[in-house]
Structure 1
Amino acid sequence: MSKPVILCVDDEKVVLKSLKTQLKSAFGNTYVYELAENPADALELIDEFNGDDTTIILIVSDWLMPGMKGDEFLIRVHKKFPKIVKVMLTGQADEDAVQRAFNEADLHRCLHKPWSEEELIETIKTALSL
């Protein structure tokens, strides 16, 4: 059986690289860490993994991205895969969007950029122990 996947979605490569480094430092090889630079690529990855019977257990997504906002992306994911834990990481989400994600995507937590590594890791630990 393959390792569970944590998917990070952000249009800034430097953010994706930081997330992967921090997650790998905290969780080592327990998970596979996948990166997507936009929601369309992320949705494609999710479908591919689902076809391969690989489980995505958690998504960390930005809110302000080209093509689709993070709340809309997480709601779409939630409708198809309600068990995936969802965390939004944003510097600019409006409160309505965050509330919509909590209500319609079962958002676990919203972290604000710049985030602290400690807060990110603690959020993911609590999310995965649900």
Structure 2
Amino acid sequence: MSKKSKTAILCVDDERIVLTSLRDQIERHFGKTHQCELAQSADEALEVLAELNEDGVSTLIIVSDWLMPGMKGDELLIQVHQQFPKIKKILLTGQANLEAIDRTQKLADLHQYLSKPWEEEILIAVIASGLEEKDV
């Protein structure tokens, strides 16, 4: 079994195909240095974050959809920010309204908003910029 990275990027979306695509793109570009974790709901994302934290793995970035059953992405990112303010938060959605984006920027220190469908190069550049800011 290979040694797990001590840093992670978490992707949250209720659509499995979106998560698979995100995982493939993130692992292709960051897989040697960061593990990629997936969650299909906000509640699952909070559980994954807690487990990673318990295991001594620092989650550096969370990429979340907005429109999901149960808790929406802006609420999730606000909760994450309250518990883990250093995590860079990216909202990736085709559904979010401007009010939700603005609220996430103000209350969760949103790193970036990306719309679906996304371009891999832009997603990777946004994640890379978030990772660079972690080193500052």
1:27 to partner: Cα distance? 1.7
Distance (whole Å) between structure 2 residues aligned to residue 27 and residue 50 of structure 1: 20
Q: Deviations over 1:3-61 (max 9, x none)?
A: 20000000000000000101111123211100000000000111111112111110000
Partner of 1:64: 67
Distance (whole Å) between structure 1 residues aligned to residue 28 and residue 5 of structure 2: 20
Whether the 8 Å CA contact 2:9–2:34 is kept in 1: the answer is yes
TM-score, scaled relative to structure 1:
0.97
Partner of 2:14: 11
2:121 maps to a residue whose letter is E
TM-score, scaled relative to structure 2:
0.93
Q: Deviations over 1:56-89 (max 9, x none)?
A: 1100000000000100000000001000010000
* Unmatched segments (≥5 aa) in structure 2: none
**Structure 1 segment 101-116 matched on structure 2, within 5 A:** 101-116=104-119
Partner of 1:22: 25
Alignment RMSD (CA, Å):
1.1
2:40 maps to a residue whose letter is E
* Unmatched segments (≥5 aa) in structure 1: none
**Which residue, 89, 92, 95 being the options, matches 1:89?**
92
Partner of 1:77: 80
Number of aligned pairs? Answer: 130
Distance (whole Å) between structure 2 residues aligned to residue 91 and residue 2 of structure 1: 31
